[in-house]
Structure 1
Amino acid sequence: MQIKALRYFLMVATTGSFLATARHFEVPASSVSRFIAALEEELGRQLFYRSTRAVKLTEDGERFYLQVKEAVGLLDAAAEDLAQADVGLKGLIRINAPVALGRRHVAPLIVCLQKEYPELEVELTLTDALIDPVQEGADITIRVGHVIDSGLIGRTVSGQRYVLAASPAYLETHGKPLSPGDLSDHACLLYKGDQGAQRWYCKRPPEETFKMLEVSGPLRSNNAEVLVAAAMAGQGLVLFPSWLFDPLSFREGRLLKLLTDWDVSASAEQMQVQILSPENRLRSRKVREVSNFLIEKIGSPPYWESL
């Protein structure tokens, strides 16, 4: 049984396409088809349903896929660890992160990472969509959200603290909210993503349960940084994670923090920043060390809380 045939099988199963697999490995599509056919003949089982519209795994193919993915992952991790036992990290690592967090924090950390490991190649993908790391081939996924049982393994880097802010010019004109109830009388600039318009919640420590607030305003956007810029221009209030703001905007007085005695949040549940990987990728020394590098550089509490 050829390892090349198994790699072709895994890629066809992942992409659902012989052509995409051929492009990935830079071989003719006929070569991929021939290897898969030989593998099916050797096993005495049909692994794929083929049609003009799609290529899908059979029931036997599903079972075989899970075992082959594990076996090839182990082989790759063993070969990688052996090759890099006495050298620094090198080769390609794929990292996925949310857009704003990735631009503001992950990208600068990758600059530091590659200065320390100049032979390391990084493919950084920024998207706010919740991807399947196995399907997309991501070695490390940085997620912001609720802790869920996703089948991924990793670490919670930190909880997420929200900051409510407005410009001095806005507050001079409209007054400063003294309690969460006052927010209904203010222009609240709301993020609107795939889940709809942002909702705001509040509680006074040490209360455990958040209460939803009635808020509205003149501007909504699917880009948080647009809304922060609008707040600095005096258009209203914004509520975002602490890591999203430029610390200079507070130091220089362009934004002021509001209701600091309250917990104001865009979620009724605790949100976390996590660094995660599929279990088979964590067998790779490269993935483990890059994950540890990011966790160490972010720190606990995260460095952005002290900026």
Structure 2
Amino acid sequence: MNLQALRYFLMVSTTGSFLATARHFEVPASSVSRFVASLEKELGQQLFYRSTRAVRLTEQGQRYYTQVREAVELLDSAADQLANRGTGIRGLVKINAPEALGRLHIAGLVNELQGQYPDLSVELTLTDAFIDPVQEGTDVTIRVGRLVDSGLIGKVVSAHQYRIAASPEYLAGRGIPQTPADLMQHNCLLYKGQQGSQRWYFRRSSKENFESLDVSGSLRSNNAEALVAAALAGRGIVLFPSWLFAPTSFKDGKLVSLLTDWDISASAEELYIQILSPENRLRSHKVREVSAFLVKAIGSPPYWDNL
């Protein structure tokens, strides 16, 4: 029995897609289909119902999946640990992260990762689209969002922290807001993405619910860094995650944090930075090592909140 055929079978069972499986293993979809068909012929059983819309397990396929999954994963895990014993980690790991967070922080951490593990290859994908790591064949996903039962396993790195900021020049001309309500008299520079214009939320403590404030201003953009640049130039006030600001902006006095005694957010719900993987990928030694490296490198609280 061909072990690779079993791997293809398990991945098709998980993703419900020959194409996603082919993408994960970086082989033609025809190869996956041929191996699975050969497995079905060898077993004398139909493992999948196939249609133009979906691929799903037959009753026999479901039983077979349950029986062989753990065996194949144990074999792969044993081989992985043997190959990496005493030599660090090697091979390919696929990482996905939000675009701005990935560009400003995760890309640098990947450079450090490969400096520590020179035999490791990384495929880093930066996108704000909410991907399915199983469908995309992603090993490690850095996600910013609510805590939901996604079927993924990992670690919450920290709560998502926000800052409200403006330049000293702007504040000298317009005054320093003392309460969120004061922002209604200020020029607030707003991010506008696929969900519409950014809303700003405030509360006194974690025991209270966030309340929104309909601020406005002379500039909106779908690029957060352009808005931060405008704030640095004295154009107005911005609200963004703490990781989006250059640490030197506050250290050198180019920006001033405002309303620091309030909880501030761009969401009515608590958001968190998480590092997640599909359960079957965490059986891989290299995936566990990469996840652990990123968790430690980011820290809790994250290093950008300590600068």
Q: CA deviation at 1:162?
A: 0.8
SS at match of 1:86: coil
Contact 1:15-1:21 within 8 A present in 2 as well: no
Q: Does 1:223 align with 2:201?
A: no
Q: State how 1:13-162 maps to structure 2 within 5 Å.
A: 14=15, 16-17=17-18, 21=22, 26=27, 29=30, 31-50=31-50, 53=52, 56-60=55-59, 61=61, 64=64, 70-162=70-162
1:184: which partner in 2? 184
Q: CA deviation at 1:207?
A: 4.4
Of residues 93-102 and 164-173 in structure 1, the stretch that sits farther from structure 2 once superposed is: 164-173
- Over 3 Å counting, the alpha-carbon distance change for 1:161 and 1:45 in structure 2 is same
**CA distance in structure 2 between the aligned counterparts of 1:137 and 1:247, rounded to whole angstroms:** 34
Contact 1:74-1:280 within 8 A present in 2 as well: no
Moved over 6 A (4+): none
Q: CA deviation at 1:274?
A: 1.1
CA deviations 1:53-86 (Å, max 9, x no partner) are: 5562244456655665554333222210111122
Of residues 117-126 and 279-288 in structure 1, the stretch that sits farther from structure 2 once superposed is: 279-288
Contact 2:139-2:281 within 8 A present in 1 as well: yes
Of residues 134-143 and 292-301 in structure 1, the stretch that sits farther from structure 2 once superposed is: 292-301
Contact 1:22-1:32 within 8 A present in 2 as well: no
Contact 1:155-1:275 within 8 A present in 2 as well: yes
- Over 3 Å counting, the alpha-carbon distance change for 1:64 and 1:173 in structure 2 is farther
Q: CA deviation at 1:270?
A: 2.1
Contact 1:49-1:56 within 8 A present in 2 as well: yes
RMSD over equivalenced CA pairs, Å: 2.6
Contact 1:159-1:273 within 8 A present in 2 as well: yes
Contact 2:114-2:120 within 8 A present in 1 as well: yes
Q: CA deviation at 1:223?
A: 2.0
Q: What is the aligned length? A: 305
- Which amino acid letter does the alignment assign opposite residue 136 of structure 1? E
- Over 3 Å counting, the alpha-carbon distance change for 1:233 and 1:128 in structure 2 is same
Q: CA deviation at 1:177?
A: 1.4
**CA distance in structure 2 between the aligned counterparts of 1:18 and 1:302, rounded to whole angstroms:** 37
**CA distance in structure 2 between the aligned counterparts of 1:37 and 1:205, rounded to whole angstroms:** 59
Q: CA deviation at 1:37?
A: 2.2
- Which amino acid letter does the alignment assign opposite residue 156 of structure 2? T
Q: CA deviation at 1:126?
A: 0.9
- Which amino acid letter does the alignment assign opposite residue 231 of structure 2? A
Q: Which runs of 5+ in 2 are unaligned?
A: none
CA deviations 1:116-160 (Å, max 9, x no partner) are: 111111111111111111111111111111111111111111112
- Over 3 Å counting, the alpha-carbon distance change for 1:247 and 1:155 in structure 2 is same
Task: Please give the TM-score of this superposition, normalised by the length of structure 1.
Answer: 0.88
**CA distance in structure 2 between the aligned counterparts of 1:96 and 1:164, rounded to whole angstroms:** 28
SS at match of 2:218: coil
2:286: which partner in 1? 286
Q: CA deviation at 1:238?
A: 0.8
- Over 3 Å counting, the alpha-carbon distance change for 1:43 and 1:201 in structure 2 is same
Contact 1:73-1:281 within 8 A present in 2 as well: no
